[in-house]
Structure 1
Amino acid sequence: MRRGLSQFMTPFRIIIIAYIAAMALISFFLYLPVTHKPGVNMSYMDALFTSVSAVSVTGLTTIEVAETFNYFGIFFIALAIQLGGIGIMTLGTFVWMLFGRRINLSQRMLIMVDHNQYQFSGMVKLMRGILLTALAIEAVGALVLGTYYIQYFDSIGEAYYQGAFGALSAFTNAGLDVTGNSLIPFANDYYVQFVTVLLIIAGAIGFPVLMEVREYLRSKQDNFRFSLFTKVTVSTYAVVFVIGIIGILLLERGYYFAGLSWHETFFQTMFTSATARSAGLSVLEVSDFTIPTILFISGLMIIGASPSSVGGGIRTTTLAVMFLTIRSFALGKSDVKVFGREVHPEDKQKAFIVLSFFAVGLFGAVLSIAAIERGNQAVEFSDIIFETSSAFGTCGLGTGITSSLSDPSLMILMMLMLIGRVGILVFLFSVKRKDTKSHYKYPTERMIIG
């Protein structure tokens, strides 16, 4: 019995179960009246959805966080965000080390799966570096924003409270806020927007990139070489970020941005492009955009952040590998080369699988929610596309329809948020029963494609 259980509990399934358990536990605390403000009545579905959204660092909610939870409830939401943002295994590694326990082989395997790594060596060192770097960035962000917020709030304590939660939400790309209105109150404060964008990018660019940058700054070697992953990730993130700015600007130039000054237009466009990738914070009402912009932002949310980061989506490297593969095929080449290196064939296969699964999953979710909500006058089809893209990409931007959805639709969104957080490959590997080796091969035969 125990042997059968050990065979069933693969590292991929353990990671998924760990996140589900965390979501269930946090939902229990959020459902308790002691975490609510006086006079608040909350259903368990609302508590569960908020918990899933927080642990998956998405940001979609069926309730107003600031109006529903007291400081005790906000503490559990912040804990869930930290847990989901940095990763369960990163915090677990810290706890193991805190109690002086050795990190054994099975635990290193879980760490490797949770952060989508390929090798065991240096895993504990990587987790320690990720934790310390993340906490340092969050602390600096809290100090910078909290000090600046003193001019906005009645007390110093409230200013630093808002600054700390804002820095945590921005760095982890959680999208939740305690202002009650996201960052819309700071729509004309470019300092707050710029600092928040830096925190969003720091969390979404990927922990391996941050570790390499830290190593580069510490290294005294003149011939330090960044990995192919870092080069592709940073360049792709930058290109999509700029395309996002240009696309939103062109689509809303004569509509939402009509009448705004050039600096208001630029900063709101820049912030929207950054937050649409995975953060979910906003300085404007997304629902005021036209449908073409809604669909364009949905595409940005589908792309998402970088692998081994706090964000979701198909990830930047998937997009880059698919684009490079198509380019090589169009040029009549069978290999994919970039930055003086050749992309491994298995990575090309993974990129195709991730993109295909995401497309099928997103289509299925949109179709299911559209069928469930067909009689709901408050829900438009474009809103459904936007909401499902936001959930699957763990972004958190919304057009305001989340609270209007029925429970079955909310369950679909929660499933998307869970898969988006653990990663599509981890989810697919968790379905696999066991490793099977083929001892024979069939004759190869060509098929007509396209």
Structure 2
Amino acid sequence: MKTGLAKFMSPFRFIIIAYIITMFLISLLLWMPISQQPGVNLTYFEALFTSISAVSVTGLTVVDVSQTYSYVGVFFLAVAIQLGGIGIMTLGTFVWLLFGQKINLSRRLLIMVDQNQYQFSGMVKLMRGILLTALAIELIGALILGTYYIQYFDSVGQAYYQGAFAALSAFTNAGFDVTGQSLIPFADDYYVQFIVILLIFSGAIGFPVLMELKEYFSSKDRQFKFSLFTKVTVTTYFLVFIIGVFGLWAFERNYYYVGMEWHQQLFFNLFNSATARSAGLATMDISEYTLPTLLFLSALMIIGASPSSVGGGIRTTTLAVMFLTIRSFALGKSDVKVFGREVHPEDKQKAFIVLSFFFVGLVSAVTMITALERENQNVELIDVIFETSSAFGTCGLSTGITADLSMPSQIILLFLMFVGRVGILVFLFSVKKKDTKTHYKYPTERMIIG
């Protein structure tokens, strides 16, 4: 017979609590004097904000990381980013396997919830594959960037330190940097930008997609077929990326890009379209873009990355299912078909719930922060919209107002980052009551909609 605690502790609530505990532990580590540079007086709230931003792989900060944290603090920050990026249960699985513990049914259920999967089979193999793939990509990225950075920094050690952190931040889409200027120093270095874009793609495309690609290239079976998830995810991700590239150029060609060479414009568009999806790194001061462009970037941050990836947002599959559903309805069809498959009705319902919750949450946050900051002359409405979109989408791009906001407004951003990281569905399932069987049904009656 289950105890009261066992009944309360559903897998969804366990995941929520695991992330909360991790965030508080990291905040205590960052708050320790050894984690701070000499002369820095870091408040606990500033350490907590950094911790939640790191574990949620967002990148919004109220302090300058490069001027605030020591090498020890940066190490703790990197651990937090790694935990948040590949998921607590992924590293938990590695620890269990390392100590020879059996991955029982309850642990498989936790893994399934954390990685947004639908079946128990292959969970341990998936976690092992995710961990090894993530570490391999980060290591390769660190070696490439570190070696290339030797020309930029005074010592080889500093070059590889900067390269390793940049690779970790890019792959996990964390948005943190230890340069103090993000990637602005490399605004004219297209090689660095290209490598970072590839790392962003690798982390944001989704771990199931990476696992299928790995299986495809290593399999001798030429009849290998990609899943519907991979087909929809990859198609939607790169379609939105291309729309982002052309959209940024269309909005800024007569404004910010005036006088620039074509290749400068191209790489600003390529990089910002990629980073706005969840990465949060920048090669320019984003606030210099015009109002329509900031709104367009906010939309990209809201869309975000793919499910079961390091990124946030409503996710690519949510966007795809909603557009496909609208298209089917407009054609007078009740079912949704794509790539020779039919979308499950429950997935259509989930897409509607995620989109609705995200929209209501975003509007509520914008309204509350605007009300709280009405006397703040440094904060405009577009800044609030951009900042909340960045927090909820766990992106990290900012117009520079995070530190200027009042503590209540910053707490709202913390909540958005947290929900964005654990996932809207996990958050909703964690607060729902236990299902009770209905022994009767009411008569059905039609409603006037629209």
Q: Give the TM-score of the pair, scaled to structure 2.
A: 0.99
Q: CA deviation at 1:437?
A: 2.5
CA offsets 1:209-235 (integer angstroms, 9 cap, x no match) = 000000000111111100000000000
Q: In the alignment, is residue 97 of structure 1 matched against residue 120 of structure 2? A: no
Q: CA deviation at 1:161?
A: 0.4
Q: In the alignment, is residue 150 of structure 1 matched against residue 134 of structure 2? A: no
- Decide whether the 8 Å contact of 1:61 with 1:403 is kept in 2: yes
Match of 2:292 in 1: 292
Report 1:127-206 matches (<5 A): 127-206=127-206
Match of 2:245 in 1: 245
Cα distance in 1 for residues equivalent to 2:142 and 2:362: 35
CA offsets 1:269-316 (integer angstroms, 9 cap, x no match) = 100000000000000100101111000000000000000000000000
Match of 2:227 in 1: 227
Match of 1:60 in 2: 60
Q: Percent identity?
A: 74
Q: In the alignment, is residue 86 of structure 1 matched against residue 86 of structure 2? A: yes
CA offsets 1:221-269 (integer angstroms, 9 cap, x no match) = 1111000000000000010000000111110111111111000000111
Report 1:47-446 matches (<5 A): 47-446=47-446
Q: Which secondary structure does the structure 2 equivalent of 1:277 belong to?
A: coil
Q: In the alignment, is residue 28 of structure 1 matched against residue 34 of structure 2? A: no
Q: CA deviation at 1:142?
A: 0.3
Q: Which secondary structure does the structure 2 equivalent of 1:278 belong to?
A: coil
Cα distance in 2 for residues equivalent to 1:412 and 1:244: 28
Cα distance in 2 for residues equivalent to 1:441 and 1:229: 35
Q: Which secondary structure does the structure 1 equivalent of 2:163 belong to?
A: helix
Q: Which runs of 5+ in 2 are unaligned?
A: none
Q: Output the aligned Cα RMSD.
A: 0.8
Match of 2:11 in 1: 11
- Look up the equivalent residue of 2:85 and give its one-letter code: G
Q: CA deviation at 1:185?
A: 0.1
CA offsets 1:325-368 (integer angstroms, 9 cap, x no match) = 00000000000000000000000000000000000000000001
CA offsets 1:183-215 (integer angstroms, 9 cap, x no match) = 000000000000000000000000000000000
Cα distance in 2 for residues equivalent to 1:143 and 1:243: 32
Cα distance in 1 for residues equivalent to 2:104 and 2:432: 24
Cα distance in 2 for residues equivalent to 1:152 and 1:379: 35
Q: Which secondary structure does the structure 1 equivalent of 2:429 belong to?
A: helix
- Look up the equivalent residue of 2:113 and give its one-letter code: V
CA offsets 1:164-192 (integer angstroms, 9 cap, x no match) = 00000000000000011000000000000
Q: CA deviation at 1:435?
A: 2.1
- Decide whether the 8 Å contact of 1:197 with 1:274 is kept in 2: yes
- Look up the equivalent residue of 1:438 and give its one-letter code: T
Match of 1:45 in 2: 45
Cα distance in 2 for residues equivalent to 1:126 and 1:426: 20
- Decide whether the 8 Å contact of 1:8 with 1:433 is kept in 2: no
Cα distance in 2 for residues equivalent to 1:351 and 1:440: 28
Cα distance in 2 for residues equivalent to 1:19 and 1:115: 14
- Decide whether the 8 Å contact of 1:55 with 1:81 is kept in 2: yes
Q: Which runs of 5+ in 1 are unaligned?
A: none
- Look up the equivalent residue of 1:65 and give its one-letter code: V
Q: Give the TM-score of the pair, scaled to structure 1.
A: 0.99
Cα distance in 2 for residues equivalent to 1:191 and 1:49: 33
Q: CA deviation at 1:438?
A: 2.1
Q: 1:2 to 1:331 in 2, by over 3 A?
A: closer
Q: CA deviation at 1:441?
A: 1.5
Task: Out of 28-37 and 139-148, give the one that drifted further.
Answer: 28-37
Cα distance in 2 for residues equivalent to 1:359 and 1:165: 33
Cα distance in 1 for residues equivalent to 2:432 and 2:382: 35
Cα distance in 2 for residues equivalent to 1:195 and 1:437: 53
- Look up the equivalent residue of 1:133 and give its one-letter code: T
Q: Which secondary structure does the structure 1 equivalent of 2:150 belong to?
A: helix
Q: Which secondary structure does the structure 2 equivalent of 1:248 belong to?
A: helix
- Look up the equivalent residue of 1:270 and give its one-letter code: L
Cα distance in 1 for residues equivalent to 2:117 and 2:437: 23
Question: Number of residue pairs matched?
Answer: 450
Cα distance in 2 for residues equivalent to 1:215 and 1:435: 38
Q: CA deviation at 1:43?
A: 1.1
Q: Which secondary structure does the structure 2 equivalent of 1:421 belong to?
A: helix
Q: CA deviation at 1:2?
A: 6.7
Cα distance in 1 for residues equivalent to 2:179 and 2:415: 27
Cα distance in 2 for residues equivalent to 1:124 and 1:99: 14
Cα distance in 2 for residues equivalent to 1:13 and 1:410: 24
Cα distance in 1 for residues equivalent to 2:437 and 2:128: 36
Q: 1:342 to 1:420 in 2, by over 3 A?
A: same
